[in-house]
Structure 1
Amino acid sequence: MSAKHSTAFPLRRYGFIAGAATLLVVLVAWVAVRAVGPVSQDNRTPLMMQPTIPVGDTSFAPSPSASPSPSLSPSRSPSPRSSPSPSRSRSASASASASVSVSASDSASPKPTPARTTSTPVPASLSARYQVGAGWDRGFVGWVQITNTGQTAATWTVKISYPSRAGVRITNVWNAQRDGSSFTGGPLAPGASASFGFEATKQVRDKISPTACTINGAPCRMS
């Protein structure tokens, strides 16, 4: 009898454990089904069919107060960052045009230059008088007096030329610088006078007179 009781007790224990496990599996499956829920025919979206309206029949025309049917295609609202702000573009274009106009007007208008007040000096008035101091058969001494009748000091240049047939050759000069037939000196102060002389030889016995005598381009007086 002891052997039968020991064999029956383990079988009952295993049966109880198997039943409990089966119940637990059923309970977990039921909870899962309740959480997901079966797909019912009521939850399906009914197919919308637009009724056919005959042409000319206005009995089915929607009233103005009726709200329009929602659009099936999704609409995308434009992003605020996709298009630039009109006020910003207008202000930028206005500032750019203003800067261009200002720079163009600045570059186009010349700056006035200050007037310089300069006193124009009165040109000097120089006069010269030519004369022969002494003479002999093959030579003579020339003499020129220069006077400044102007209001400013000035240098002077006297040019003297003789006939080529006379063969005049200047040998000595004083109170002037000689370059060929030109004599220079100065500056001569206003109201002052100066004179220079020279010694020359000639090839003729007659008295020789210059063909031209000028001081700074003006003719000399002959005596």
Structure 2
Amino acid sequence: MSAKHSTPYPLRRYGFIGGASTLLVVMVAWVAVRAVGPTQDEQLGTPLMVQPPIAVAETENSPSVIPWSSPAASASQSAAPTLSAAQSASPTPSKSSARPTTTTASPKPTEKATTKPAPPKPAPPPPASFTARYAVGASWDRGFVAMVRVTNTGTTARNWTVTVSYDSRAEVRITNAWNAQLDRQGDTNVLTGGPLAPGASFSFGFEATKQTRNRIQPSGCTVDGTPCRLD
């Protein structure tokens, strides 16, 4: 009888010993953890917050989230605008403004003549010098006769031209001329002849009517532009 009832009691003893051993192990572990000290999360007192990877749209009622940034990054970001402002305030002068460029005009090539030069014109003969002497040979109430002597004082034989004009109030009109060709141009009478050799003299005359009884002298008399001598 004693042998049959001895089995249950040792099992209960072993169960109690196992539970006590387990409790003892847990207490030893807890004591060891407390002996090491509190963890970093317990020292900070606040749990570590991790920012979600997706940005949340801000609204008027929602608080703004300031992203976590290091002090070095903030300093570099704040210094960058200052440097840009300094660069915009005092721009570095360019090389083109400091040193003006100079352009050197290249010499133009000499243009070749495409046409032959015109042959030189022959030199005109030297102008002949003429003198003339005007004189009245006869005069009456309504007319007169005049003589003109032309002398070539130049070195070339040339034709000569004598112009004679009178006051328009006298109404002088040459009716006949000899040794000269007569051409009337208004109140001016043009008489031409020649050629006359150098140093030679030539005389011509004409007859004219007038409307005055007084002796009349020409208002103008020239030979090739030189004034005549009036006698």
Structure-1-length-normalised TM-score: 0.48
